[in-house]
Chains A and B, each alone.
Chain A
Amino acid sequence: MQEIREEDIELEEDTQKGRFLTFSLGKETYGLEIRYVTEIIGIQSITEIPELPEYVRGIINLRGKIIPVMDVRLRFKKEPRDYNDRTCIIVVDIGELSIGLIVDSVSEVLSIDDKDMVEPPKLNKGYQNRYIKNIGKVGTEVKLLLDCEKLLTEIEVEDLKESL
């Protein structure tokens, strides 16, 4: 089912294929498939909600629509950093879900050909790699391309384990 939907979207939005929005977290640069992204907004006041994992910072009011925001830094178990005027919220729509991703800063939109992508090395320890779909090469730089769907859906599994 998922595959079919993905295919549909790809056919429709062929121009978006292979294009990634890159953002930085510390010294790494990550890429996000552009078809998921709906908008980028500056940081705004977040209403905290109790009893949630730390990386879910709370909810924001996006023009009358209430969406949750996730701090990607905390999600990847990095040191938290205070938000400043470079901090951005990338609003992504994945399936039915809308969510804001808090990142250090947004860089640019890049095209990366399939041939410039390699699979991440398989490591047994740590789960960080699970969210990296591919590693893209742009010139001499390396971009970590995120698997957006896993970023959201795997939370449930993980969180369930935590709560158990």
Chain B
Amino acid sequence: MENTNDSMLDVFLFETEQLIGQLEECILNSERAGGYSEDSVHEIFRIMHTIKGSASMMMYQNIASLAHAMEDLFYYIRDEKPVDLSYIVLTDLILEGIDYIKVEVEKIKNEDDLDGNFSELIHRIEAYLNELKDMTKLKTDCNTENTESSCEGNYYSNDAEEESRGIYQSIIFFEEGCEMENIRAFGLIHHLKPKVNEMFFLPEDIIENDKCTEVIRKDGLQLYFKTWLEEAEVYEFFYQTAFVKMVELNKIEDSIDLYKLYCQNTGKQEVSGNVNLTIEYEEAAKEEQDGKQTLRRENKERTDKESRPANVQQSIISVNVAKLDKLMDLVGEMVIAEAMVVQNSDLKGLVLDNFYKAARQLNKITDEIQDTVMSIRMVPLAATFHKMQRVVRDMCKKLGKEVTLSIQGEDTEVDKNIIEHISDPLMHLVRNALDHGIELPEERMAKGKEAAGTLTLEAKNAGSDVVVIVRDDGKGLSREKIIGKAKENGLLVKGEAEYTDKEVYGLIFLPGFSTKEKVSEFSGRGVGMDVVVKNIEVVGGSVSVDSSADKGSAITLKIPLTLAIIDGMNIKVGEACYTLPTISVKEFFRPMEKDIITDPQGNEIIMVRGQCYPILRLYEVFKVNNAHKSYEEGVIIMIEQEEKTVCIFADELLGQQQVVVKALPEYIRRIRKINGLSGCTLLGDGNISLILDIAGIVNNYF
């Protein structure tokens, strides 16, 4: 029983998180577009409705009632389409609601007490809804005052008693620089309404669409109307209106049907008779009155609709990650077991053609299984990247900066475990870039850049790594400031002038670099870049930074595609066996004593094809006894890591094998992080091999 509850809870959390993600994205997109499209209003409504439903099923009343309030709000917006909606207020309100739900969901996950108090926010949402309702009512009242009137779009007819005397077409120009032409036009039309039998105007949506202002400025406001007034009276009316500069008034043929003309002009389907319109209008009003009933009916329809796409998506199932982890482990065991069989020492010296044929077949299949299991665990970075949109938006608002977020390569896939590890560092980097990197709009203008900064999140595959780049076009890192700070904190190990730019930028990753001088809401709290580095190192990745003054800086995260299984090259040093990732091995060879040069400090260098490389004796690094010390007996392996090339000296090569990366036991990790080792693995004969951390070795010793 408990189990089913748990899985239901899992599903609830999973769904809610997904929905909230969708919702957030939808809202941010709408914000960028400058308004809510009908589709997005529908989507928001639907999402809120779903969250409400599932939350109340799981008895999370807080979430349910909050979602309900938001649902109400969007129900109203969807059906009434209030004209003067303040998108900013609305967006803030909804985002706040999303945050509340997020926090609550997090609490549920951690099994904390649900003590969030939503009533205040709910009240605000309700208050806003009431405000909206009041406003629309006012307008409706306004419209209904002109009794027996009907309007569709901007076509307006008035069953006045006066006999019409003629149909006019007029173009009205407003004075230059009077601003808000659309509002003035609206006012004019409003005042004209009681004086006409029928009328319509172009452009159509003068209030909703800001672009109309431009059109009116250029081409004037076109009015078509049928009225009982004399021409002179019409002129007089127009010139009384404030800011009207010029009026063109043409009488057109009496016989023409103004409604038909309207339809032609706007490309609308002609509705036969005005009566219909009136009925529709009344119905809408009625619907609002017994809103609750319709709500229920609508909801039913909605749920019907929602269930339909689910059928389409049935080819996708969601699986518990723990099961995948288990599967991954098993595949790992299988790879080891296969090696145990094929490389069994009992087989040595036997001629077994058929056996090896079968073994190759087995190998092919295990490879394929491994790839498939791996691909199951691969998740695109899109969701992680899109989360940043919210961060960017919120920070821009708070800091008064203008930043466009550009996302590239969001389809790039990485292991699920890795995603979890990079999402926090990524957020940190984005915040840093916004807070310290990108300047205020005025500053940018002064430097001759565009007022809006650009933050680029880019992901791409590079060999067995995924590269994620956070790039901004801000002011870049300042060499002087970094050196100054590093000096204060005693982080400099050599003379200032000896540092290359790249090394200087690298200083920001050192623990203790953050000076905590300026604590803002977003950064500078002392959890600095070293935390980012640590997080990335946990998954075997590396971080580097590049920057140029006033052009911006770029931080590059290099992360392995997957953690679990790598192609490894086994080498032997003394009794010990080590594994190198094959990908970093460039070549190996038996060195000649004469190629090796020792410098005055005792560092050994080898000359290969005219290039010098440092040599690292592995037995010295790991303090192994009984290793070959003379170069003639051993082998040199040239490895490459991030443009650095190093030669490693070992006793012998054992061969190549796919190895399953296992972490060192927790107990040992607790004692200390061991430099140069990234984990261990089991060999075919059951012995343990230690996996070398090439990046660690290279960075530690060179």
Contacts and interface: CB of A to CB of B under 8 A. Distances in A.
Interface of A: 45, 47-53, 56, 59-61, 64, 66-68, 96-99, 152, 155-156, 159, 163
Contact of B688 (A47, A51, A96, A159): A47
13 contacts: A47-B680, A47-B690, A49-B664, A49-B674, A50-B676, A56-B667, A61-B687, A66-B664, A66-B682, A67-B665, A152-B667, A155-B671, A159-B672
B622 to A, nearest CB: 4
Interface of B: 333, 336, 576-577, 621-624, 662, 664-668, 670-672, 674-677, 680, 682, 686-690
A60 B688 contact: yes
A64 B682 contact: yes
A55 to B, nearest CB: 11
Contact of A68 (B577, B623, B667, B686): B667
Contacts of A61: 682, 686-688
Contacts of A49: 664, 668, 674, 677, 690
A51 B676 CA distance: 10
Contact of B668 (A59, A64, A96): A59
Nearest to B622: A50
A158 to B, nearest CB: 10
A68 B668 contact: yes
B333 A66 contact: no
Nearest to B660: A64
Contact of A56 (B621, B668, B675, B682): B668
B671 A159 contact: yes
- B-side binding surface: helix, strand, loop or mixed? mixed
Given A49-B668, A50-B621, A52-B674, 11 more contacts: A47-B576, A47-B688, A48-B576, A50-B623, A51-B672, A64-B333, A64-B336, A66-B682, A66-B688, A98-B665, A98-B667
Contacts of A156: 670-671
A45 B576 CA distance: 11
Contacts of A51: 672, 674-675
A60 B623 CA distance: 19
A68 B665 contact: yes
B680 to A, nearest CB: 6
Contacts of A60: 688
A152 B623 CA distance: 25
Contacts of B689: 47
Contacts of B336: 64
Contacts of A48: 576, 624
A159 to B, nearest CB: 5
A98 B677 CA distance: 20
Given A51-B675, A53-B671, A155-B671, A45 B687 contact: yes
Contacts of B677: 49-50
A163 B682 CA distance: 30
Contacts of B671: 52-53, 56, 155-156, 159
B680 A52 contact: no
Contacts of A163: 672
A56 B667 CA distance: 10
B666 to A, nearest CB: 6
Contacts of B690: 47, 49
A50 B666 CA distance: 16
A48 to B, nearest CB: 7
Of A47, A97, A98, A99, most buried by chain B (CB within 10 Å of CB) is A47
Nearest to B621: A50
Contacts of B668: 49, 52, 56, 59, 68
A66 B670 contact: no
A121 B674 CA distance: 38
Contact of A50 (B667, B674, B687, B688): B674
Contacts of A97: 665-667
Contacts of A45: 687
Nearest to A97: B667
Nearest to A67: B665
B670 A59 contact: no
Nearest to A46: B688
A68 B688 CA distance: 12
B662 A66 contact: yes
- Max chain A C-beta neighbours (<10 A), residue from B336, B670, B675: B670
Nearest to B680: A66
A61 B681 CA distance: 10
A96 B666 contact: yes
Nearest to B624: A48
Q: 9 tightest A-B contacts by CB?
A: A47-B688, A50-B622, A68-B665, A68-B667, A97-B667, A68-B668, A51-B674, A61-B688, A159-B671
Contacts of B674: 49-52
A163 B677 CA distance: 19
Contacts of A64: 333, 336, 682
- Of listed A60, A68, A96, A159, residue having the most chain B CB within 10 A: A68
Nearest to B681: A66
B687 A47 contact: yes
B626 to A, nearest CB: 12
Contact of A59 (B577, B621, B676, B680): B680
Contacts of A50: 621-623, 674, 676-677
B622 A59 contact: no
Contacts of B680: 47, 59, 66
B343 to A, nearest CB: 16
